[in-house]
Structure 1
Amino acid sequence: MEHRVAITGIGAVTPLGNTAAETWEAMRAGRCGIGPITRFDAEGFAVQVAAEVKGFDGEAYFGRREARHLDRCVQLAMAASDEAMADSGLDAEGAIDRERLGVYVGSGIGGVETYTDQVHLMEKKGLRRASPYLVAMMIPNMASGNIAIRQKAQGPTLPVVTACATSAHAVGEAFRAVKHGYADAILAGGAEAAIIPEVIAGFTACRALTTNPDPQTACRPFDADRDGFVMGEGGCVLVLEQWEHAVARGARIYAEVVGYGNTDDAHHITSPDPEAAGIARAVELAVAEGGVRPEEGLYINAHGTSTKLNDSSETLGFKRALGEDAARAAHVSSTKSMTGHMIGATGAAEVMACALALRDGVVPPTINYRTPDPACDLDYTPNEARACELTWALSTNLGFGGHNACIALRAAKEA
């Protein structure tokens, strides 16, 4: 038996706000969450800006003792899961059988700040100074593991690691598990906290990051003058729940997840296929599974990284998958223009944006868009949000290794 799948809870800690509501309000307002790097001294670095989470104090949130044993990435994921559970109402006693509650929360890089800090410590003071918590803090599954412990989730639990597509795939795989009856609800999403010298240096070396020092123009998806993405951090977790389970307990439903596409370019370790065959197939699969009819009002939250190759190939992918006319009629935007690229958290945050866009009938903008690019010729909702009648939404994400993910959503309705 197949089940409809509802989004009933949302939690987020992002460069735009430390709750989902704050983040969405900022997206609608077109606020920029990018600023000068403060997480480390970036003097001498070619890259000077990042999209940092602001005002989140792990010690205040978890207590000093617990926070010291949790990498920042895991802290952001756990805080987002707390909000999502409370928002859904599943935190109430008896709201769900905990053996039917799962956790699919991933990270593209995992506890890399803990790992590098510990390597530096051992280089200075010897291997005997390694923390007994090193392994448990750095491995990428610990967001899922710690959330499962915290929420007493004893159902299907796993992390997903597909670089920039991580939490989109986590949401998609959770959708399938709930749809096919393996769980009544799953906490799905991702987190990342990798604004550290070593990671910034690595992404700079492979020429992925912008060297534009101006926070207000550094990230400009689909603009002709784009020159790289801005590293972000954050955590976002959604509650995906069987529709009938949600209705039976009177839960609020934000939107319905209806389709999922998962493909690979099989082309290059970092560059997208210029023919866009992989992302086009992912969109086609999600659209077909969900019965999406683009003419009824479609919003596409694009991966839209602000890199030359991604934005043009993704634009081509939409045209190949939907047809030229449908692609041109769709409302497209990249919320990375505001959040930066949160790597493992970005897919879930963009599914969140789709769900709330469907709920409110508002398309968040692509900010910093000034100069059209002939290779990117769709309606990218430049600079200001737009009120629209929306029925469908697609969220696309592409990751190093050629990974492609597309999530299809429909506005919440009974029929």
Structure 2
Amino acid sequence: MPHSARVTGTAFEDVLITGLGFVLPGADSPELVWRQLREGDSQLSALPPVLSSGTGIHSAGRLGDFEHTPYLPDLPDNFAKRYSREILVVLSAVQNAARDAGLADDGAIDPPRTGVVASCSRGPAEWWSQTASGTAWDPARPPVSPAQAVFASLAGTPASLSAIRLGAQALVSTVSNACVGGHQALALAAHEIQRGAADVMFVVGHELPLTPEVLQVYSASGTSVLSRDTEPRRAIKPYDLRRDGFALGEGAVVAVLERRKHAEARQAPVYAALRACHSISEAAHATRMDLSGQSTARLMADTLDTAGASPGELDYICGHGTATRYNDLAESRALGHLFGPRRSDWTPLGSVKPVYGHLLGAAGLVNCAALALMLKHQCLAPTINCETVEPECDHDHVTEGARPGEVRLAMSLAFAIGSQSSALIMEAAG
């Protein structure tokens, strides 16, 4: 793939990931998330009829009976009752990330040098769905009353309230740009550090899309991209001949970005380093990427150029991996353009979506958190449910199980409704 001389993407120097926080189905710590990724332990489960009735969709990654009190024991009840479940999920994940990074104690952060950037594609869909329909899906947990819903009704309040709880006084913002938003939030936060405006940035991906309306949007006749498999743990089958789409997931993931000197001064543990991010608009088909793979290959090549690396230096690519025909074929075709026709030269391409589902605006953060864990543990997570490989996708998807080995440089891919694509490169620490 010929490289371009023009400036593309953004390169990052000395921006590290020093903490990870999670509230995902079946997992609330880096240790649990890594175990589930490594073992290919899908956390998808059956949807209740109150959500799925009439859609033909059976599976999703659900949080279940989430309670915020174990994570936020000091949150006053009069505050919590005004917060939606989504806000409480995000605050809990941010608190988990602060603890993991060693920044949870009083005085651990410098407020003017700390910020929060979030990504969410749908905003407070869960609150609006229940409020507009007058239906509480769980009578024990009714939605916040409209009379008290100043926070619950706004897309940006999870980030704003996280900043208030942390005391973060630098940039606070929420990106809403479908599935590329997570990469863009990471890049925006890393840019704040690189330009000297912050030392620490909390980057949040959150999505609670499991509403009847969202399920109907994604399962409508003629446009359905959701799997109808009745066995939840096998619903998402990336690159497999039998694939029939993805399942949605809900939750929050947080990455703590930190300036290297700041991290070294406090002897913080490091998961990985950000090297480059590039986001483009194909300005073409509104709902799918270029099926030839050429646009994605150029995106990948330009991002590698930005990082000062070559395709041969990539040890792994965490694909968007939605188990939809167009996505899987476009990603595989892109590898052909980037690496050449000999498939033995292609870098492994995998997907983590079968484990937690597709978290839409948080998907890029899920990918990058998974990469950070792979880089830390020097082990590639498997692509589960990929058993009868689509002939055109017949290359290395790490299907045999977790693969220990040297992992130095890795890439995450994301594709979004609206003809947008992004790539992000991370490097092992040290």
- Kept after mapping to 1: 8 A contact 2:289/2:420: no
Q: Does structure 1 residue 280 correspond to structure 2 residue 293?
A: no
The amino acid across from 1:46 in the alignment is G
2: CA distance, partners of 1:231 / 1:69: 26
2: CA distance, partners of 1:326 / 1:5: 33
Structure 1 residue 138: deviation in Å?
A: 2.6
Q: Secondary structure at the match of 1:216?
A: helix
2: CA distance, partners of 1:3 / 1:297: 18
RMSD: 2.3
The structure 2 residue matched to 1:98, chosen from 111, 136, 139, is 111
- Kept after mapping to 1: 8 A contact 2:343/2:395: no
Q: Does structure 1 residue 72 correspond to structure 2 residue 92?
A: no
Deviates more, 1:326-335 or 1:17-26: 326-335
Change over 3 Å in CA distance of 1:145–1:326 after alignment to 2: farther
Name the structure 1 match of 2:393: 376
The structure 2 residue matched to 1:164, chosen from 172, 176, 179, is 179
Deviates more, 1:139-148 or 1:288-297: 288-297
Structure 1 residue 60: deviation in Å?
A: 5.9
Q: Deviations over 1:106-150 (max 9, x none)?
A: 21101011112221239xxxxxx9713435313221221111111
Q: Secondary structure at the match of 2:175?
A: coil
The structure 2 residue matched to 1:193, chosen from 208, 226, 233, is 208
The amino acid across from 2:18 in the alignment is T
Q: Does structure 1 residue 22 correspond to structure 2 residue 32?
A: yes
Q: Deviations over 1:279-336 (max 9, x none)?
A: 3333223212222344345111111001110111122223334545588441221000
Q: Secondary structure at the match of 1:375?
A: helix
1: CA distance, partners of 2:233 / 2:400: 12
TM-score normalised by L of structure 2: 0.88
Superposition pairs for residues 236-247 of structure 1, below 5 Å? Answer: 236-247=253-264
Which blocks of at least 5 consecutive residues in structure 1 are unaligned? 123-128
Which blocks of at least 5 consecutive residues in structure 2 are unaligned? 1-10, 136-143
The amino acid across from 1:283 in the alignment is M
Q: Does structure 1 residue 146 correspond to structure 2 residue 161?
A: yes
The amino acid across from 1:162 in the alignment is N
1: CA distance, partners of 2:12 / 2:53: 55
Structure 1 residue 2: deviation in Å?
A: 7.3
The structure 2 residue matched to 1:352, chosen from 369, 382, 397, is 369
2: CA distance, partners of 1:390 / 1:247: 23
Report the number of matched residues: 407
The amino acid across from 2:194 in the alignment is K
Q: Secondary structure at the match of 2:316?
A: strand
- Kept after mapping to 2: 8 A contact 1:76/1:235: yes
The amino acid across from 2:330 in the alignment is S
Structure 1 residue 341: deviation in Å?
A: 0.4
- Kept after mapping to 2: 8 A contact 1:2/1:180: no
2: CA distance, partners of 1:15 / 1:213: 19
Structure 1 residue 356: deviation in Å?
A: 1.1
The amino acid across from 2:50 in the alignment is F
Change over 3 Å in CA distance of 1:297–1:194 after alignment to 2: closer
Q: Secondary structure at the match of 1:40?
A: helix
Superposition pairs for residues 125-140 of structure 1, below 5 Å? Answer: 131-140=146-155
Structure with the largest fraction of helix: 1
TM-score normalised by L of structure 1: 0.91
The amino acid across from 2:63 in the alignment is V
2: CA distance, partners of 1:324 / 1:390: 24
Deviates more, 1:308-317 or 1:289-298: 289-298
